[in-house]
Amino acid sequence: MGKIRCAVVGVGNCFAGLVQGIEYYRLHPEQQVIGVMHPVMGGYSIYDIDFVAAFDVDSKKVGNPLNEAVYSEPNKVKWVEKLVQMKDVTVKQSPQLDGVGMYVKKVVTPVTERPLEELRKEVMKEIKDKKVEILVSYLPVGSDKATKFWAQTCLDAKIGFVNCMPSFIASEPEWAKKFEKAGLPIIGDDIKGQVGATIVHRTMARLCDERGTKIEKTYQINVGGNTDFLSMKEQERLASKKISKTESVQSQLSQRLPDERIYVGPSDFIPFLGNTKLMFMRIEGRMWANIPYNMEVRLEVDDKANSAGIVIDAIRYCRIALDRKIAGPLIGPSAWLMKHPPEQFSDDQAKKMAEEFASGPGKKE
Ligand SMILES: NC(=O)c1ccc[n+]([C@@H]2O[C@H](COP(=O)([O-])OP(=O)(O)OC[C@H]3O[C@@H](n4cnc5c(N)ncnc54)[C@H](O)[C@@H]3O)[C@@H](O)[C@H]2O)c1
């Protein structure tokens, strides 16, 4: 099968987890590939994903080989000692725009900003020279302007887009139409972790709802110690993340909860947790004869393994769509893999739609 030629914008912890995970399986061929829904999908294995270009703003990453940049502070993923792939890929400069938040400035020192048009030309040249087919965005929360720059770059360069973060592109009708018109696929927005806070909360909320109880209030609190959580300390950057996470839960209820009865959000940064994310969820409701009940869930998970196990599929869905010339937002795969897709479904239904998409007509033999 052909390789999937990808570029990444945001060489942070999520990207480090994705590529170190692939390398981990390369180094351990005796091991069964676990932690992924499809070792092979549409003819593409996890080893068919190649990162041939990369963009960031951090002076510790820009200008360095990608296999080394992945290990630069403040990245914390170290699942394999070193990466042998990607040593010929040099991290190029991305426009900073609104990418680096006030708390993150303490750990990320951006390279000197250059005129946007100059950078746009360089970016386009790199994408063309490297024959990139798909861009994966791991930009920080709150980077709405930078996300729009990169979404437009995908349209101009005629490549697919996997939007892992919560600035709305696939789920924003105006942008969705642009991708459709350009004949390009897009998956988004905001990764729904493999066994993450969102899917667990959605599942429990739906269970309570479908079993006929009435949910009266619910909350989900998340804490972690990586750069993403540091970035999310800044409330102003959080607007779309909160919408993405809250709507993902609301969409599973037969009746929406009033806003004051649902709280879902990243809540604090605890440095020593590193990439460990803790989620605390509570549902309070009433059952037969108006009798009250409540439920609490505590989830402890590596945030980056949680995201990579999903992105490994998102990239391949995007490539299958390119192969089949399917344009616009991929409805089933986005609903299954993302928190804020263009259309919400139950997770059962979304999974069925995504599976049908992967194995449907036009499948690569
Ligand atoms: N489970 C998960 O980890 C998960 C789930 C859902 C969504 N996400 C989202 O994925 C995104 C990436 O998460 P992460 O943990 O890798 O974050 P991170 O902070 O570790 O990495 C972000 C990277 O982007 C770079 N950057 C900042 N501004 C930039 C710009 N203008 N252009 C190019 N690069 C820029 C930073 O230097 C850094 O290398 C976040 O938005 C996060 O909310 C993560």
DSSP for 119-180, please give it: HHHHHHHHHHHTT--EEEE-PPTT-HHHHHHHHHHHHHHT-EEEE-SSS-STTSHHHHHHHH
Summarised one tens digit per residue, pLDDT across range 49-88 is 999 999 999 999 999 999 999 999 999 999 999 999 999 9
Residue type, 287: M
Residue 137 has, within 13 A of its CA and on its CB side, a CA count of 35
Q: What is the DSSP letter of 362?
A: T
* Nearest to 165, CA basis, from 314, 47, 318: 314
Distance between Cα 288 and ligand 1 center (Å): 45
Q: Is the pLDDT of residue 340 over 90?
A: yes
Q: Is the pLDDT of residue 267 over 90?
A: no
What number does the ligand 1 atom closest to the CA of 232 have? 43
C-alpha 99 – ligand 1 centre gap (Å): 9
**Averaged pLDDT for residues 299-304:** 97
231 Cα: distance to centroid of ligand 1 (angstroms): 9
Whose alpha carbon is nearest atom 18 of ligand 1?
Answer: 12
Asked if the model's pLDDT at residue 258 lies above 60, the reply is yes
User: 83-115, pLDDT tens digit by residue?
Assistant: 999 999 999 999 999 999 999 999 999 999 999
Nearest-atom index, ligand 1, CA of 139: 24
Q: Which domains does the chain have, with CATH numbers?
A: 4-192+305-359 (3.40.50.720), 197-302 (3.30.360.10)
- pLDDT per position as a tens digit, 9-59: 999 999 999 999 999 999 998 888 889 999 999 999 999 999 999 999 999
Length in residues, the chain: 365
pLDDT of res. 266? 82
Write the residue with the smallest CA distance to atom 28 of ligand 1: 99
In contact, 313 and 337? CB cutoff 8 Å = yes
Contact call for residues 42 and 354 (beta carbons, < 8 A): no
The residue whose C-alpha atom lies closest to atom 37 belonging to ligand 1 is: 58
For 93, the token pair is 């400069």
Nearest residue by C-alpha to atom 4 in ligand 1: 307
The distance from CA 46 to its chain's CA centroid, rounded to whole angstroms, is 17
pLDDT value, residue 1: 64
Locate 49 and state its tokens: 């994903």
pLDDT at site 265: 87
Cis upstream peptide for 50 (omega within 30°): no
Distance 132 CA to ligand 1 centre (A): 20
Ligand 1 atom, smallest distance to 277 CA = 1
Strand locations in 225-272, DSSP E?
A: 262-269
**Ligand 1: residues within 6 Å at CB?**
9-15, 55-58, 94-97, 99-100, 108, 138-141, 143, 146, 164-165, 190-191, 193, 196, 226-228, 231, 303-304, 306-307
Does the pLDDT of residue 365 top 70, yes or no? no
The torsion defined by the Cα of 360, 361, 362 and 363, in degrees rounded to 10, comes to 30
Q: How far is the CA of 257 from the centre of ligand 1 (A)?
A: 31
Nearest CA to ligand 1 atom 38: 12
Integer Cα distance of 238 and 267 in angstroms: 10
Ligand 1 atom at minimal distance to the Cα of residue 303: 1
Rg (CA), the chain: 20
Protein residue with least CA distance to atom 40, ligand 1? 140
Ligand 1 atom 22: residue of nearest CA: 12
d(CA 181, CA 335): 21
Q: What is the mean pLDDT of residues 193-222?
A: 97
The CA distance from 89 to 95, in Å, is: 19
pLDDT category, 146, cuts 50, 70, 90?
Answer: very high
